[in-house]
Amino acid sequence: MEAIRLMRFFSRNDHGGYDPEFLRKELLKAKLKIENKMGTFKIEITAVGGHGVDREVKDGEIVNFFKEGNQTPDAIAKFMELNLRNSGCMIDSATITHWPGQESQVVDDLITGKRSGNF
């Protein structure tokens, strides 16, 4: 997207033609800006209360994170995943783990919606 914008707005010289050297320099600057913003990060939140919507969904089935409205912890986590994706982040994984470390642990994948485990 940045490259297209640069080509459209910055590559014309004063005579209406294209200046390849100017374009090359601007593309290099844009690439450096993008590369400086790239890097892996991880967000971890541990909380208590109100989690676990769509509890009748079984292992391997798809969860409706908004079944009980958009203010549940599950819906808010899904919104966060969507907002990060829409901001340009490449998301490797995003999950909600209910009762982590317990025998009854249930994991909901925020990207695929797939549930692992049963309530």
Which two structure tokens, joined as six digits, stand for 76? Answer: 């808010």
Going by the DSSP 8-state scheme, the letter that residue 58 receives in this structure is: P
Query: 53-62, 82-91, 95-104: which range is least confident on average?
Result: 82-91
Q: How far apart are the first and last CA of the chain?
A: 44
pLDDT of residue 64: 95
Q: What is the mean pLDDT of residues 76-105?
A: 91
pLDDT of residue 23: 67
H or E element at residue 80: helix 73-86
Q: Is the pLDDT of residue 82 over 80?
A: yes
**Residue range 32-65, pLDDT digits in tens:** 665 556 678 888 888 898 898 999 999 999 999 9
Q: What is the mean pLDDT of residues 94-111?
A: 94
Res. 93 pLDDT band, cuts 50 70 90? very high
Q: Can you give the residue ranges of every domain in the chain?
A: 2-37, 43-119
pLDDT of residue 68: 93
**Residue range 12-26, pLDDT digits in tens:** 555 555 666 776 777
DSSP strand pairing (106-109 vs 115-116)? antiparallel
Predicted model pTM:
0.67
